[in-house]
Structure 1
């Protein structure tokens, strides 16, 4: 798998300006063919304001790529974040969290 294309990464980063509420733990974006997948994991429960900001960000990404379909997943979870290759999975943001010992 290859890293996320620069134009998609920059579009998502621009769309996320001002959209990262304190409960947002991780955000990533990927493209597979003509499908863009936007995923955000928030501390559960998360606010309506955070949900509105993240769904607005996905709409802005969709506007930048009108020929592609955008699928988004915004979930609440207090589980550990996934262990995966952050470049190929398109991670854009990860909140600093204290490590559990």
Structure 2
């Protein structure tokens, strides 16, 4: 629920901007050209965002899409108000139509399968973004927690499960292990619905053993040993 509220608060602003841009046109001969201009601008902006690269592209596309949907909702609201003026229907007065269309349009969009998939697959962000977030989180959590018995730390993902693997020396004790479990708790707290699994691999070893879809080094002790690739 917290993730849903955070997501909706982010996309609500572009939706509102798009809606306000087209909800106050009170003449057909103004509304139609405004709608066409908005559609062209939205297409250009969507193509620009989609053609760019970087970790925030997927999120940028979502914002643009919500702005486009907001504009479409505003266009519909203006059209209904114009119809109400023409037919003199009290139910289609602006004071009723604008908030109703705004709420219904945003509600339907936020509950759509594509929106739900985008929210559910937060973890399916671009690989670079996932790597940056996870490595920074692990490295921050390791500050002040690394003992001389810790040789290396790797991090990786299996779906929505974070895997932390600690390569340790023979003198790695229970107190060291407890500190690493605290590290894992701090890391998973930086994410949403993800779970975390810790693996402790004793040296000598050829390297990390835990199977992961993608692995990154978060810490390596100097000097490098045989396990460092």
For normalisation by structure 2, the TM-score amounts to 0.37
Give the 4+ runs in structure 1 shifted more than 6 A: none
Tell me the equivalent position of 1:85.
none
Determine whether 1:46 maps to 2:133. Answer: no
Q: Distance in 2 between matches of 1:47 and 1:10?
A: 26
Distance 2:154 2:171 in 1: 19
Closer/same/farther in 2, CA of residues 14 and 42 from structure 1, 3 Å limit? same
Structure scoring higher RCO (CA < 8 A, sep ≥ 6) equals 1
Q: The residue matched to 1:19 in structure 2 has which SS?
A: coil
Change (3 A) 1:99 1:72: closer
Which position in structure 1 is the counterpart of 2:135?
9
| Residue 36 of structure 1 pairs with residue 162 of structure 2 | yes
Within the candidate set 169, 176, 188, 1:62 is matched to 188
Distance in 2 separating the partners of 1:60 and 1:67: 14
What SS does the aligned partner of 1:45 have?
coil
**Using the alignment, how far apart are the partners of 1:89 and 1:77 within structure 2?**
19
User: Greater share of strand residues, 1 or 2?
Assistant: 1
TM-score (norm 1): 0.78
Matched, 1:75 2:201: yes
* CA-CA distance at 1:98 after TM superposition: 6.7
Query: 1:26: which partner in 2?
Result: 152
Distance (Å, rounded) in 2 between the aligned partners of 1:59 and 1:12: 10
Gaps of 5+ in 1: 83-87
Instruction: From the superposition, tell whether residues 99 and 25 of structure 1 become closer, same or farther in structure 2 (CA, over 3 Å).
Output: closer
Unpaired segments ≥5 residues, structure 2? 1-126, 209-213
RMSD after superposition: 2.1
How far residue 62 of structure 1 moved from its aligned partner, in angstroms, is: 1.2
User: 1:22, 1:51 → 2: CA distance?
Assistant: 13
3-state SS of 1:39 partner: strand
Contact 1:45/1:76 (<8 A) preserved: no
Q: Between Structure 1 and Structure 2, whose CA radius of gyration is higher?
A: 2
SS of the equivalent of 1:89 reads strand
